[in-house]
Amino acid sequence: MLTINDLTRRFGDKKAVDAVSFHIERPAMVGIIGRSGAGKSTLLRMLNRLTDASAGRIVFDGQDITALRGRDRRAWQSRCAMIFQQFNLVPRMDVVSNVLYGTLNRRSTLATMFNLYPTADIRRAIGILDRLGIAEQAPKRAEALSGGQQQRVAIARALMQDPAIILADEPIASLDPMNARIVMDALRRIHEEDGRMVVCNLHTLDTARTYCDRIIGMRDGRVVFDGSPAQLTTGVARDIYGAGADFSEAATSTDIETLDRHQYERGKARALV
Ligand SMILES: Nc1ncnc2c1ncn2[C@@H]1O[C@H](COP(=O)(O)OP(=O)(O)OP(=O)(O)O)[C@@H](O)[C@H]1O
């Protein structure tokens, strides 16, 4: 299905992504973890063709994605929708119009300029919002919604493209634990019910373990772990994060209780010094 072969991206002398190779056989939910700067975003952006690869290949269902240009590249970007940490909605525009933006690639410039959307598309947008539990927010401006609601609008906009793959770049990094759970539940449900592949960059180990079928760990641009949630032990996590013996999983957790405990324990350790 999706094969990545020796994919590399250089920025000057630095290899942000360094000869990454993996194969995803079926529409799985895959988590990519690693410390800040490990190359997770660059990898996702290359998959979506927002960033060009310096070397290597991406092949999806037999098609060489790395070679696509112009219209073909835009068509790929529709099949492989991207969700970002900061939602990337138009804040002053209403929720339905933000969702309808997901159809932009297949509409004429004139229709876009005059905000003309076919009724069927509007119905579909509202249906998707309903599925994500936020249909009643449809007429509101995007900026009036909570972060968790805004991220669900971004997911709805992605679904409007009917993508084969959803790429989510730190989709819960700006959210509180409760909203993080709602958004991850939504992504998991979309994966299970629609059979869409979801590839998700995550900062937090517990989220990756809970929601993903497979986890890829990156360090300094390279894949250093590729396995199941059960194989991602604390020792493996320590290697991925390049941390010392004092590495605590709590430092990468979204769970409030774990975070509280971690802060408490750090405070206690400081008090002892
Ligand atoms: N446009 C760019 N120009 C120069 N260097 C870049 C650019 N984009 C990324 N980098 C560098 O490439 C490396 C990988 O960055 P990337 O954003 O992919 O990491 P990341 O794992 O997604 O980190 P984070 O979790 O902080 O988003 C970093 O050292 C970063 O500074």
| Domains along the sequence of the chain with CATH | 2-272 (3.40.50.300)
| pLDDT one-digit tens code per residue, 2-39 | 999 999 999 999 999 999 999 999 999 999 999 999 99
pLDDT over 50 at 268, yes or no: no
Given 3-state DSSP classes, what are the helix, strand and coil percentages for the chain, each rounded to the nearest 5?
A: 45, 25, 30
- The pTM is what? 0.87
Measured in Å, residue 118 CA sits from the centre of ligand 1 at: 39
Residue bearing the bigger pLDDT, 67 or 101: 67
Measured in Å, residue 11 CA sits from the centre of ligand 1 at: 9
**Over the chain, what is the mean pLDDT?**
88
The closest alpha carbon to 34, from 225, 181, 209, belongs to 225
Amino acid at 44: L
Measured in Å, residue 36 CA sits from the centre of ligand 1 at: 8
Measured in Å, residue 39 CA sits from the centre of ligand 1 at: 6
* CB contact set of 12 (below 8 Å; sequence gap of 6+): none
| Section 84-108 average pLDDT | 84
CA 190 to mean position of chain CA atoms = 13
Name every protein residue with a CB atom under 6 angstroms from any ligand 1 atom: 11, 14, 16, 34, 36-42
pLDDT over 70 at 66, yes or no: yes
| pLDDT one-digit tens code per residue, 97-124 | 999 987 766 655 555 655 667 888 889 9
- Closest residue by CA, ligand 1 atom 12: 16
Q: Is the reported ipTM for this assembly greater than 0.90? A: yes
Query: Concatenated DSSP letters for 28-52?
Result: -EEEEE-STTSSHHHHHHHHTTSS-
CB 2 within 8 A of CB 60: yes
> What dihedral angle (degrees, nearest 10) is formed by the CA atoms of 198, 175, 84, 87?
120
